[in-house]
Copies of this chain bind each other. A is one copy, B any other.
């Protein structure tokens, strides 16, 4: 099975042609494995089944990894043309169970498996071609076009692992055996666990931008931490070791569970780990494609809540304080065993990179006295994922990490049998909500009690903060709050006040303001970094952000739903991530669509304008506001609506272009200027005069 899964390519080198060939081989290897994983589905029917009610059916994931390439390449302006706009909207988002993901089945008409298969082939040919032909210099950096290709490949590697988990959660009748994807056969009694001492040390987390392997944004930066001497369990907790906890009533005893854990028990009525099956009074074990006798010496698969409950149980039983390791303590373990990174790391020394298609005994892979430091199953940690010092969002994928920096996503460490690509790199960092199932178990530690820092709940992202201040902050130079002014204009001109869409809603202020007059308002933005602010205001009752005063100095501001007077409006608003140039079909039937300061930030404003009338009801109103500040970083010059001279040298102005483009579907009923002021520091502001144009849909 060796060489079934290739190691990722390094970023440097001197031979460009050779590097292209390496990337191409790695791309096709990834694609091959991903498609093989979907061979596990018994029939086409199985593609439309959901493993969990809160997730999309498998057909979504099958299309998703291909559309990901196209959406990122379009967004980064590396390609101009879509392959299939429908697929690229419905397969675009919804992989994590966030508020703004829409997994309601009724909203989707899923395509045929065969059509998606053909689509995947077309995307594959395009990517193959780009790999061989886009400009390339070495080393590949985060700014390189090739980085976006690598991003697409590593994204698919993640979905290889998560799809295997979803398949394991499917009813058995939908899963078949696939040759080559076979589980480990070594089953025996579990070894007795014991503690290993790890010396005190300094742990330096984070990698440098010049590192030689692809990384996600959360891996870069620096964090240096001192770790006191502590003890770690020699083995991962086995099914056998966990069995005692189950048998001694661990799932019934509330004192082992924290508040989140209790909620989990309430909702799921869980009595044992999810991949255990109780048959005739005996616990058996679900692999991907069958149920086998309990493999006592394999690691138990649990979520973080179960792992923590076990630690509390064991603490009570032994009178010693057990807990999950922190990220730094895990770092100390890797130092203790002098763990090597790939490509030097020998993949046969651990259960990873898809060498097996299941876990294997916890006493098989010895790393100098402590077992399974990497591989077998992921190990839950006590540390919520957060950005290191110097963290910067990668602009092509700004919703990869930031939405998980919420204290609710705990790091999983060390990779599993199903991990490959970036997932098995030493610096990679993945996190899931604590009730999620992955190929994850745990080891416990006895260490100086550490309180995990609460992550700063203030929006520290500079652009998001700036928008929070713009929408929720103070007025300046006597100019009225722009979101409020726009909402007033909308209620003045809207004929009917049913459903409204706030397109490019940013941090959501106008969405709430519109709810004062409309029955239902949807706020939609391309960037989850923005969407989550409105969503947080709705769900948590406040937004908190930094407002910059001078240089790096800022003050904190917190605005509550109550002081905004929005408490009775929150049920009327909802927030969604989406692409205004390729809206999903379920966004429709609006009495009002308002797009404030959006058109000059779209990659293709024509695409948006050409399709928006379909989204409006009879007598529907479209409101655009914009200062028409076209910039090549947002919109390629060939897609500007105005602000340029045509081939005959005539000045093309945006307002005239709007009249031409919208003229046959809309009547222009009003125009006015609306000023707005955006604070950069307490002394520096952007002061802008947007033109608002109000359009009424013509019945054809």
Contact = CB atoms under 8 A, between A and B. Distances in A.
Contacts of A553: 643-645, 651, 653
A685 B689 CA distance: 9
Given A137-B137, A139-B137, A477-B477, A627 B683 contact: yes
A36 to B, nearest CB: 37
A687 B689 contact: no
A435 B640 CA distance: 46
B552 A684 contact: no
Interface in A152-206: none
Interface string A657-697: 00000000000000000000100110111111111000000
A684 B673 CA distance: 12
Contacts of A552: 630, 643-645
A651 B628 CA distance: 38
Interface string A616-652: 0000000000011110000000001011110000010
Interface residues of A, number: 34
A628 B683 contact: yes
A548 to B, nearest CB: 9
A551 B14 contact: no
A550 interface: yes
A15 interface: yes
B690 A687 contact: no
A630 B628 CA distance: 28
Contacts of A684: 627, 629, 686, 688-689
A551 B683 contact: no
A681 B552 CA distance: 28
Contact of A640 (B551, B654, B689): B551
A242 B133 CA distance: 56
A596 B90 CA distance: 54
* Copies, count: 2
A477 B687 CA distance: 9
A224 to B, nearest CB: 16
Most chain B beta-carbon neighbours within 10 Å: one of A15, A645, A683: A683
Contacts of A680: 629
Contact of A687 (B628, B630, B654, B686): B686
Contact of A654 (B550, B627, B642, B654): B550
B683 A677 contact: no
Contacts of A690: 683
Contacts of A14: 14-15
A642 B628 CA distance: 35
A550 B683 contact: no
A153 to B, nearest CB: 23
A235 B193 CA distance: 95
Contacts of A642: 550-551
Nearest to A12: B137
Nearest to A681: B629
A674 to B, nearest CB: 11
A629 B683 contact: yes
Contact of A630 (B551, B644, B645): B551
A106 B313 CA distance: 89
Contacts of A628: 550-551, 681, 683
A460 to B, nearest CB: 14
Contact of A685 (B15, B643, B681, B688): B688
Nearest to A641: B551
A688 B682 CA distance: 9
Count chain B CB atoms within 10 A of each CB in A550, A630, A651, A680 and give the residue with the most. A550
Most buried by B among A14, A551, A681, A691: A551
A553 B654 CA distance: 11
A690 B683 CA distance: 7
Contacts of A644: 551-553
Nearest to A691: B683
Nearest to A654: B550
Interface in A533-567: 550-553
Nearest to A629: B684
B551 A643 contact: yes
A514 B627 CA distance: 36
A157 B687 CA distance: 48
A643 B551 CA distance: 4
Contacts of A685: 686-688
A84 to B, nearest CB: 31
A683 B644 CA distance: 16
A389 to B, nearest CB: 14
A137 to B, nearest CB: 7
A687 B681 contact: no
Nearest to A550: B643
Contacts of A645: 552-553
Nearest to A600: B551
Contacts of A683: 627-629, 688-691
A270 B691 CA distance: 64
A677 B686 CA distance: 10
A552 to B, nearest CB: 5
A681 B627 contact: yes
A212 B640 CA distance: 33
Nearest to A677: B687
A552 B640 CA distance: 10
A204 to B, nearest CB: 20
A316 to B, nearest CB: 41
Nearest to A137: B139
Contacts of A640: 551
A550 B653 contact: yes
A597 B264 CA distance: 58
Contacts of A643: 550-553
A645 B551 CA distance: 10
A642 B14 CA distance: 44
A14 B550 CA distance: 44
A285 B689 CA distance: 69
Given A552-B630, A628-B683, 8 more contacts: A137-B138, A550-B628, A551-B644, A553-B651, A677-B687, A683-B690, A683-B691, A684-B686
20 contacts: A137-B137, A137-B139, A477-B687, A550-B642, A551-B628, A551-B629, A551-B640, A552-B644, A553-B643, A627-B683, A627-B684, A628-B683, A629-B683, A683-B691, A684-B688, A684-B689, A685-B688, A686-B686, A686-B687, A687-B687
Top 8 nearest A-B pairs (CB, nearest first) are A551-B643, A14-B14, A687-B687, A627-B683, A551-B630, A550-B643, A685-B687, A683-B689
